């Protein structure tokens, strides 16, 4: 596996691969990799000739009060995981490489970025859209692989690609979970043992609401009440949102149609750690 740090070098390598007719898959990450990330790389390996994983803790998607400086980093561990997952190139640029002096361009995606995370982290998706656009320009992928755990982010990236006519297929891969259902996340390391035990309530709430829908209940507020009731069954939890929305555009009708896709979305703090999760109900 080759590690590249400069924008010029990654473009040179990608151009050579393109000339050879190679199909390129990219997996954008912020590092501190786990098996969720590795599953994306394995999916890219199965679909593409060259797999590029990017590791960049993007300062533009962190608000001043968020955890940019303490976000976990371990590049040697990441290298091993990426190589074992079949990655060919690890692109690890610095902030100075991605955002050189005088950088003033940002990208805003409307619509699906506004609710949920857009309310609680209002600058977040501008940072995501900006860095993803630059990474797509640098790596020129045929396919880009993202995890369903960040469901709203997937919709934002899909809209970005569609609106700007980028020649990239965005592939959303299933959420990878621990044996007790907790969605894999780099931020899980912040949890104490006791908090880690309580954090499984997010998936339990999603499953309860899913079952409620499968029994024929389609009223949004009643579905959201199930989510909240289960979440509040544990102590020391702060709910940012517990919502049911249309799975395509995140609209929130009073009543879901019988064949309408529904996504259940939760964001909550267990102690001081903010966790998100979701579940699709077809």
Catalytic residues: 37
Return the H-helix or E-strand segment holding 47: helix 35-47
Q: 58: buried, middle or exposed (CB in 10 Å: 19+, 13-18, 0-12)?
A: buried
Spatial separation of the C-alpha atoms in residues 172 and 104, rounded to whole Å: 30
Q: What is the dihedral of CA 73, 79, 82, 88, to 10 degrees?
A: 130
Q: What is the DSSP letter of 85?
A: T
Nearest partner of 54 among 35, 71, 40, judged by Cα? 40
Please give the radius of gyration of the chain, using alpha carbons only, rounded to the nearest integer: 19
CA neighbor of 172 nearest in space, from 208, 140, 147, 153: 147
Yes or no: say if 149 and 185 are a contact pair by the CB < 8 Å rule: yes
């Amino acid at each position: 596996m080759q590690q590249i740090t400069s924008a010029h070098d990654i473009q040179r390598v990608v151009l050579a691969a393109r000339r050879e007719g190679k199909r390129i898959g990219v997996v954008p990450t912020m590092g501190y990799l786990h098996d969720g990330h590795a599953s994306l790389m394995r999916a890219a390996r199965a679909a593409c000739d060259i797999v590029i994983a990017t590791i960049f803790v993007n300062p533009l998607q962190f608000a001043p009060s968020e955890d940019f400086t303490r976000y976990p980093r371990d590049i040697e561990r990441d290298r091993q995981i990426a190589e074992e997952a079949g990655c060919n190139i690890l692109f690890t640029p610095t902030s100075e490489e991605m955002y050189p002096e005088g950088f003033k361009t940002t990208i805003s995606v409307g619509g699906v970025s506004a609710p949920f995370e857009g309310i609680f982290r209002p600058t977040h998706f501008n940072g995501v859209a900006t860095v993803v656009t630059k990474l797509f320009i640098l790596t020129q992928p045929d396919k880009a692989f993202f995890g369903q755990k960040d469901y709203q982010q997937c919709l934002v990236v899909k809209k970005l690609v569609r609106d700007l006519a980028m020649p990239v297929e965005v592939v959303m891969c299933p959420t990878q979970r621990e044996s007790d259902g907790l969605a894999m996340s780099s931020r899980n390391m912040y949890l104490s043992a006791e908090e880690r035990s309580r954090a499984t309530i997010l998936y339990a709430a999603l499953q309860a609401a899913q079952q409620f829908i499968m029994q024929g209940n389609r009223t949004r507020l009643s579905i959201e009440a199930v989510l909240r009731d289960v979440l509040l069954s544990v102590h020391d939890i702060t709910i940012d949102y517990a919502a049911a929305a249309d799975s395509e555009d995140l609209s929130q009708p009073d009543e879901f149609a019988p064949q309408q896709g529904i996504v259940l979305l939760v964001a909550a703090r267990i102690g001081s750690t903010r966790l998100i999760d979701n579940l699709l109900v077809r």
